[in-house]
A and B are shown apart, each in its own frame.
Chain A
């Protein structure tokens, strides 16, 4: 039986990919950020997940303005890093787990989550940056990935409550997959940042840390935070944090925090990550 053994919430700032690719991760600017991820990289080496369900958003890379799926699941065999205008990142292709992905997709639809299914797409920094942060620079990624892309760009984006419920449904789907698999779920994006308009550059250390506290709590209060609170408190792009709730919902009511790290700034953004296990 497949099982979700842990969840990770993490920022996916593109500049972190640049830092890895250009070997700048030990300099004064990036050093403290990468130091925060060191524990998690070691932990991942020991955990050896077979598959990561990687919740992220596409930033106008695979999807243009034409088609806007709210929840889309990648059911393909493999995915190439996207060219985001600077040429594709020099990282390995991402290997999918088509059997598990199709199983989850079918289960979710029967469970009344009407997923969009994607067979072919390129994956952008939203997916490849967390891979680099957790796994460093291997020749080949150490696990397979089921990409789960969420619309957090065009409003209305899905509610926190819906994201949490989707996470619960994903956990049920994984548990009914017959093969023995060690599965992790990652929710990525955030934390506070705003990339547009005269208010750009907004960061909110206090709110971000309250959000991390809420993820550790033995209750599901965090699913009820309305969009407007993310937007007012954490900037227009802080809304990406709703994606962390898919991860959190998949872990059940009680969790144990294994690691947590927060740093300001990385480019325009507050960097945070948290590692949780079902308790």
Chain B
């Protein structure tokens, strides 16, 4: 039953196109996520919108992450330890639906993504394991 933590964590990295929010990512992205969380408050949203760079400079976030936040480069933000539930505060600050924001991380435009979902979504076939290729 009880699994070795190293084996457990290694498996989590074996999923194509996926960044599981492990403790290591949570540590790395802590201030990205806390920044995003601050956008839950109306005054913070206003201050951020008025001058994004100045607002980001108030946080202990790396220059690389600040650039990714300014560019809304969500895949890079996942690599830097951002988590989608936190980043979603930025989606709503931008007035973007969850699905539209999610589509920007895929190979599809939003209309194409919506279409894929209507047709039953992305198949798990070939998308389960990097090493196994199944």
Contact = CB atoms under 8 A, between A and B. Distances in A.
A221 to B, nearest CB: 14
Interface string B86-122: 1011011100011100110111100001001110111
A264 interface: yes
Contact of A65 (B8, B37, B106): B37
Interface in B1-59: 1, 3, 5, 8-9, 11-12, 15-23, 26, 30, 33-34, 36-37, 39-40
B33 A60 contact: yes
Q: Which secondary structure characterizes the binding site on chain A?
A: loop
B93 A85 contact: yes
Contacts of B113: 201
B92 A84 contact: yes
A136 interface: no
Contacts of B116: 201
A78 interface: no
A204 B124 contact: yes
Contacts of B19: 196-197, 236
Between A61, A155, A197, A267, the greatest number of chain B beta carbons within 10 A of the residue's beta carbon is seen for A197
Contact of B124 (A64, A202, A265, A267): A202
Contacts of A15: 98-99
Contacts of A264: 120-121
Interface in A49-103: 59-61, 64-66, 68, 83-86
A161 B98 CA distance: 31
B75 interface: yes
Interface in A229-265: 231-234, 236, 264-265
B39 A60 contact: no
Interface of B: 1, 3, 5, 8-9, 11-12, 15-23, 26, 30, 33-34, 36-37, 39-40, 74-75, 78, 83-86, 88-89, 91-93, 97-99, 102-103, 105-108, 113, 116-118, 120-124, 127-129
A-B pairs with lowest CB-CB distance, top 7: A203-B121, A85-B92, A199-B17, A198-B17, A232-B128, A60-B85, A201-B122
